[in-house]
Amino acid sequence: MTQFDTVVLGAGPGGYGAAIRSAQLGMKTAIVEGRWWGGACQNVGCLPIRSLVHNAEVAQLLTRDQELYGIRGEASLDYGLAQARARTVSERMVKGVHLLLRKNKVTEYQGHGVFRDAGTLAVSFDTGVTETLTFDQAVIATGARPWLPEGVRAGGRVVTAQDFSADPVLPRSVIVCGAGSVGLQVAYVLVNYGVKVTLVEAASHLLPREDPEVAAEVTKAYRNLGVSILTDHTVTSVTQSETSAIVTLVPGDGGGRYSLKTEKVVLALGARPLTEGYGLEQTGVELADGGAIATDRCQRTSVAGLYAVGGVTGASVSAGAAQAQGIVAAETIGQVPTFPVKTLLKKKAWRKGCCASACLPYGMKCWASRWLKIHVINT
């Protein structure tokens, strides 16, 4: 049994951010991770997908935009090499996470952590050995998992965006369910490598969290690329065989149900907090609607000494937001001045790609320009 001041469960951006800041504040700190050091973001999410997006931009330049940029000759595209590059980028960043943890003298545990109570965590290793850690405070940073429609299982020809990021084989056709930022990135990559792509979105426009004006420009650009777009369509079922997958849709205009056949389906329908399998019920931590861990503005849960950050809180699953929450939690534990994440967002709410509706909860007015920039004025 080993005693720590702070134990962090989960090594995504929120988790390693909390662990590093805790150690910097003089606390004896441990971090426990059973699968993805750096989180899903660095292993199967943001980083590898954005690496593929960059490859797709180059592919578009060399194929669709040759005349525009005065390029002559026929380009040969190798998606397998693009995937290999994405994996290399991901692995390099994960090594960087370990380096930062070691540099700040954070003790790493490669194993699955389960709470025994609000002051004890059991870590199970692949060898079958279990080690017990005790702590004064803990930060829960277990992240989020892809959301799947009821009755739909990922596997075979039906995959999540995380699965897509690690698959070096291109299908001939694909239906991407969900047209948020992740779904759009997946569609962009595939269409620029010659895949027939159909985007399906239940909302009335692409990027449902953004302004309709922005969505209209994005829709125009994607249609010019050759992407088929179906908005206001609800996915009711996804089935598959050895050779194809079938997506059943219901249009919102009252039209009849119909089905589309494709070689592969990518589900990019958002994420849900990952709280199962970590013994949270042994701690007494209160869960909010949707299974997220309820926290206050300083990331404190309903149990003294326990904090939660990142996707497990049901908040934004972006790496930046999670890391900011991790720092706030560590500084709250260390009893030093800190700035809750919403405060940080309010002070920095001018950004490219922001939408007017996103500013309203922070008491701001904003004007969107057609070039997708936002100017924000505090009221």
The answer on 137 and 7 residing in a single domain is yes
Q: Please give the tally of structural domains in the chain.
A: 3
Domain final residue pick, 269, 289, 312: 269
For residue 222, tell me if it sits in a domain. yes
Q: Give residue 339's pLDDT.
A: 87
| Mean pLDDT of the region 279-306 | 92
Closest by CA position to 231, among listed 216, 245, 246: 216
For residue 244, tell me if it sits in a domain. yes
Domain encompassing residue 369: 349-378
Would you say residue 330 has pLDDT above 80? yes
Q: pLDDT confidence of 75, banded at 50, 70, 90?
A: confident
| Mean pLDDT of the region 41-61 | 93
For residue 153, tell me if it sits in a domain. no
Residues of 68-84 as b/e, b for ≥16 C-beta within 10 angstroms?
A: eeeeeeeeebebeebbe
Q: pLDDT confidence of 344, banded at 50, 70, 90?
A: very low
The answer on 295 and 251 residing in a single domain is no
Domain final residue pick, 245, 269, 293: 269
The answer on 106 and 82 residing in a single domain is yes
The answer on 353 and 255 residing in a single domain is no
For residue 191, tell me if it sits in a domain. yes
pLDDT tens digits, residue range 349-369? 333 344 555 555 545 444 444
For residue 110, tell me if it sits in a domain. yes
Burial of 287 (0-12, 13-18, 19+ CB in 10 A): middle
The answer on 372 and 312 residing in a single domain is no
Cα–Cα distance for residue pair 249/237, rounded to 1 Å: 8
Give the global pTM: 0.86
The answer on 354 and 321 residing in a single domain is no
The answer on 215 and 134 residing in a single domain is no
For residue 224, tell me if it sits in a domain. yes
The answer on 129 and 176 residing in a single domain is no
The answer on 67 and 33 residing in a single domain is yes
The domain that contains 290 carries what CATH number? 3.50.50.60
| Mean pLDDT of the region 141-157 | 89
| Mean pLDDT of the region 2-23 | 96
